[in-house]
Amino acid sequence: MSSLDDLVHRVRPPRGEAEGALVLLHGRGASELDLLPLVDELDPKGRLHVVTPRGPLSLPPGGAHWYAVARVGHPDPDTFWSSYRLLEGWLDALVDHTGVPLERMVLGGFSMGAVMSYALGLGAGRPAPAGVLALSGFIPTVEGWELEPESRRGLRVATVHGAQDAVISVDFARVARSRLEGAGIDLLYREFQGGHTVEPELLPELRTWRGETSSAAESSSRGTGA
């Protein structure tokens, strides 16, 4: 049985009753601490249960990883699927622990963490979250993983990428935009004039997007009696 202890993580509990949850996945070689500065930017009023897990793999050049990099856009299948399954169970444990269902969670991440957020949020056979926040990542091409457009129509996704990104080319974001719009995703797409980083000037817009996404999910959940 999966447990929250399966992944090292940090928790920022809500101030009062949670209106939803936010899970932020770090990039290559970082840790569960890396995206903590985004927590107050995206949820300044503390309305969400926020959790930042650490990737399970320790690989060169150091730090934590979610998968081995075969080549950009194409994660190593064995390590990708190992982390994917681990995150599936860990998210289920998070639902049990917080009482916040997946449909009221925003899954987000930077770089490698964005890839895993795309994979878990859009993958066939997975329930849909409230939204996906992908910062400087790509939709993975890996054997056995498929985008599930039928059940994702209307899902809220925010894709942000630097036009001068030398680590993960902005072309990956443009391909993602085409695929997501073709699948009927409710997409916020932004490019900025920068590299492989989080653009501070876009954080107010992302904060608004996150708030609207959480509010829409909460309203939908109440409407269905969940």
**How confident is the model over 112-156, as pLDDT tens digits?**
999 999 999 999 988 999 999 999 999 999 999 999 888 899 999
Q: How many domains is the chain built from?
A: 1
- Asked whether residue 225 carries a pLDDT value surpassing 80, the answer given is no
Q: What range does the domain containing 183 cover?
A: 4-224
Residue whose entry in the numeric block shows the structure tokens 């949820």: 43
Confidence of residue 218 (pLDDT cuts 50, 70, 90): confident
Q: So what's the pLDDT on residue 151? A: 84
Sequence-ordered alpha helix ranges (H) in 77-126: 77-98, 112-122
pLDDT, tens digit, 9 for 90 and up, residues 154-185: 999 999 999 999 999 999 999 999 999 999 99
Average pLDDT over residues 62-74: 96
Q: Peptide bond before 200: cis, by omega within 30 degrees of 0?
A: no
**Cβ atoms of 73 and 40 closer than 8 Å:** no
Structure-derived torsion over alpha carbons of residues 13, 113, 185, 210, reported in degrees to the nearest 10: 30
Strand partners, 190: 160
* Distances, alpha carbon 146 to alpha carbons 91, 95, 108, 150, in Å: 20, 24, 19, 12
Percent above pLDDT 90 for the chain:
89
Confidence of residue 226 (pLDDT cuts 50, 70, 90): low
CATH at residue 127: 3.40.50.1820
